[in-house]
Amino acid sequence: MSKTKVFIAGHNGMVGSATLRRLSANPDYEFVLRGSKELNLTNQIDTFAFFEKEKPALVILAAAKVGGIQANIDSPATFLFNNLLIQNNVIEASRKVGVQLLVNIGSSCVYPRECPQPMKEEYLLDGKLEPTNEGYALAKIAGLKMISYYKKQYGFNALNLMPCNLYGQNDSFDLRHSHVLSALVKRFSDAVDQGAPSITLWGTGSARSEFMIVDDLAKAIGYFIQNPFEQEFLNIGWGTDVSIKELATLIAKKTGFTGEILWDTTKPDGMPRKCMDVSRMKDLGFEPIITLERGIDEMIGLYN
């Protein structure tokens, strides 16, 4: 019996590498992998040539241009342009060669800035986006809708998963590119090492977000490959949130930081609240298992 050929776009990144670790346990999968230096997914000719040669049956679209608030503010055109190119090329190449299933990984930033909480799937496009990462969000919405239209027009078989804020192994600890939880782990760990009497964080600390370790997303990907759904897309997360101030206090405690936490209110908070309704996910039989406290411990271990 021949194995299923799997291409994970972005397998060296946080989501892609977690997915590779998870799916590698399946003996029926054969992986065809290319790093960004070997295959530039923003190049249509190269992407199409790769798909024509390898003809994968299963594609996980986890490749993306990502960054923190400041990077998104500084380079919105780059985030929009590069992510549109990656998505367009991978999705169209998958359709052309007859990929059996594509799993697209989006983001909870697709929801409006003032979205009712918790955020239900039907709230998509009901309001204006958060300005600080609008370029990235627009690209992710385009990818979600592109797949929806491809399913309608071509009968293309694909799934859209929209996870909450992620953290975990292979996240960047570069403060310009890291996710908020990883950035806080670095800031507090460094402050402890340096004996700093205080630490200043962006915003007011009042913004609330939902956090899930990337390993749980990888489990969700594996689960829904085996248990596909009919909905346009699915929220993936815990369905509970914490304020950035609460998160900072917890990480401070776990890193042993006893100094003062200050807030630079001239800096943006980002989206006021991002907590997803995950009732559809639970109804379909999936729930994450690694708690925030356990996940923070893992991140501190990874950094130190």
Q: What's the rounded Cα separation, in Å, for the pair 111 and 271?
A: 10
CB 168 within 8 Å of CB 303: no
Residue 293, exposed/middle/buried by CB under 10 A (0-12, 13-18, 19+)?
exposed
Tokens standing for residue 100: 């059996």
CB 67 within 8 Å of CB 177: yes
- In angstroms, the first-to-last Cα distance of the chain is 45
Q: Nearest-CA neighbor of 84 among 103, 110, 65?
A: 65
Q: Nearest-CA neighbor of 31 among 20, 41, 22?
A: 20
Q: What's the rounded Cα separation, in Å, for the pair 148 and 162?
A: 14
Q: What's the rounded Cα separation, in Å, for the pair 255 and 185?
A: 8
SS3 content of the chain, % helix, strand, coil (to 5): 45, 15, 40
Bond before 112 cis per omega within 30 degrees: no
40: three-class secondary structure by DSSP: coil
Q: What's the rounded Cα separation, in Å, for the pair 87 and 62?
A: 10
Q: Of 29, 111, 123, 136, which is the active-site residue? A: 136
Q: Nearest-CA neighbor of 231 among 301, 300, 171, 279?
A: 279
136 is catalytic: yes
Pairing type for strands 234-236 and 158-163 reads: parallel
Q: What's the rounded Cα separation, in Å, for the pair 46 and 21?
A: 26
Where in the sequence numbering do the catalytic residues fall? Answer: 136
